[in-house]
Amino acid sequence: MDSLSLTSNLSFTEDFTTGSESNLNDNINISESVFNDNINSSSSNVDDNIKSSSTTAVGKHASSVKDLEFTALDQIDPMLDNIKIKARCISVWHSHPAGKPNQAYSFDIVLQDMKGNRIQCTARNNDMYRFVPLFQQGHCYMITDFSVGENNGILPLLNHKYKITFFQSTKVTRIDHFDEDVFGFKLEPFSEILSKRYHEKDSVDVVGAIVAIGDIIQVPNTLVKKVRRTVIIEDTEGTRVKCTFWDKWAEMFNQYVNNDAIGPVAFVLQLAKVKYFKDEPAIHNSLFGSRIFINKDIPAITEFKQRYTAKEGYSDGDHKIEVFTPPVVKITPEIFFRNTVKTTVGGIRALEAGTEVVLYGKVHRIHKEHGWCYDACKRCNKMAKLSKAIGSKKAYTCDEHGVIYQVVPRFKVILRVIDETGSAPFVVFDTNTSKICDGKSAYEIMNKHGQTTSDYFPDDLEVIVGKKYLFKFTYTQHNVNSNTQVYTAKSVSDDAELIAHFKDGFIDGQVSNLTRFLLTDMFPP
């Protein structure tokens, strides 16, 4: 049976399990090198005479380091001087911008010491090329002369408070293996994951047998085309955990969808991240650094399969991988209209402040003078204002996250909505605009027409003019106090069932300005 190992070399900032528009911003990319396992349990298979282009980044083989004192990785602190560490490299990768794996800006590794403590190390810019040839997954190293900084990235791989930065003066010496566990797996029981003892910043290692593989799902509203897939794995106790994989990680399971081979297909997922969706724990491959070993001939998988097939009632012939289609979330009338009032444009002002409103109207035109998109913070989707620019490098300010250096385009269009009773402007943001514009993202449109979005209004948005939609919004106290009749759409829909429900109760299609229908009467809480 085919086996596969894969190392994550990804770049995305997405809360993919939540499906919120603030997530899934970046493209996940995997360089060709990540398909190389680069792990061998025997150190004799790797050249001991690794050389560095710098005399300060030492690659000499050392047979004994007993005369040195070492700091445990969980004790690493910027207040300590002359720190020496001894640890095994369990993952390596290059960090790079979305969709640009050849433009790496750092070389990163995860080290694990004899006690299982882990820490991330980074070499940036020109320094990284000195260290690339020195580190190989599975080998052990003594490292001195480095800096310790905060581990405060957007999506940190580990929950360690600090991480290590390598410089030109950093000394790296490969040493003998301090134990036989070249992979450094720290396999967590599924019961611990399902007990919700982990935080979303935590990373875990798991081993399990594949029992179900979901269809590949297209993910809308992302910078580039993205897909995801759910894979369900089972432990020896029959406990199951959901795993979410993205892009090429999702595609690598294609060969197992119609798997008719006898016996379980098992994998180890190392440095996976814990995620909660609707309070249900799951795991997924991380931004960078995750590794997966599918049906590899390694002790962790061999021993797991032995225990799994020894379960009472297990039969190779009965073990088949289920293929399932994840349910599509259907917005029912009960959900869409709950605690709302349905009215017309002319009836809005008769409502009380704070009322949740639904109306049905036609897009008369788009207010092109107000533009069509804005620069958004990747973390919160709020507007980011340009604060300074030095050459091609720009800095932005986000009210919530301060100074940031990367932004993404998000839709913001103002539609003039009209019905028989009047018209009003509605502000429609990213997800809703994409939904009614054939699923196109602002990023796609910007790439098509040009980076300077203020210079044009894309004809891609004209498809919505003349069409009718349901608009769900809140009539706010601000609308009342300032007599401002501009509304922000929470949801926009052309769903036939929802439209039919809205029209139910309007006699012969005639609408009174003051017609109101409290949906709480129809759908009791």
Return the CATH fold of 333-518: OB fold (Dihydrolipoamide Acetyltransferase, E2P) (2.40.50)
Assign 399 to helix, strand or coil: coil
- 333-518 shares the fold of 190-324: yes
d(CA 231, CA 476): 43
Of the candidates 379, 473, 469, 466, the one whose C-alpha atom is nearest the C-alpha of residue 427 is 473
Q: Which residues pair with 415 in a beta bridge?
A: 366, 426
CB burial readout 271-305, b (16+ within 10 A) else e: bbbbbeeeeebbbbbbbbbbbbbbbbebebbeebb
pTM for this structure? 0.62
Residue 520 pLDDT: 38
Residue 319 pLDDT: 77
First to last CA, the chain: 53
d(CA 106, CA 235): 36
Assign 150 to helix, strand or coil: strand
Sign of the alpha-carbon torsion through 290, 176, 116, 268: positive
Q: Are 275 and 287 in contact (CB under 8 A)?
A: no
- DSSP output for 319-378: ---EEE-PPPPP--HHHHHTT-EE--GGGGGGSPTTEEEEEEEEEEEE-GGG-SEEEEET
What residues of the chain score a pLDDT lower than 50?
1-2, 9-65, 67, 506-525
Q: Are 470 and 352 in contact (CB under 8 A)?
A: no
Query: Which element (helix H / strand E) includes 434?
Result: helix 430-436
Number of C-beta neighbours around residue 420 at 10 A: 12
Residue 390 pLDDT: 61
Sequence spans of domains, the chain: 40-175, 190-324, 333-518
Task: Write down the CATH number for the domain with range 190-324.
Answer: 2.40.50.140
Sequence-ordered list of residues with C-beta below 8 angstroms from that of 343, at least 6 positions apart, any chain: 350, 351, 357, 358, 359, 513, 514, 515, 516
Residue 73 pLDDT: 97
The CATH class of 40-175 is mainly beta
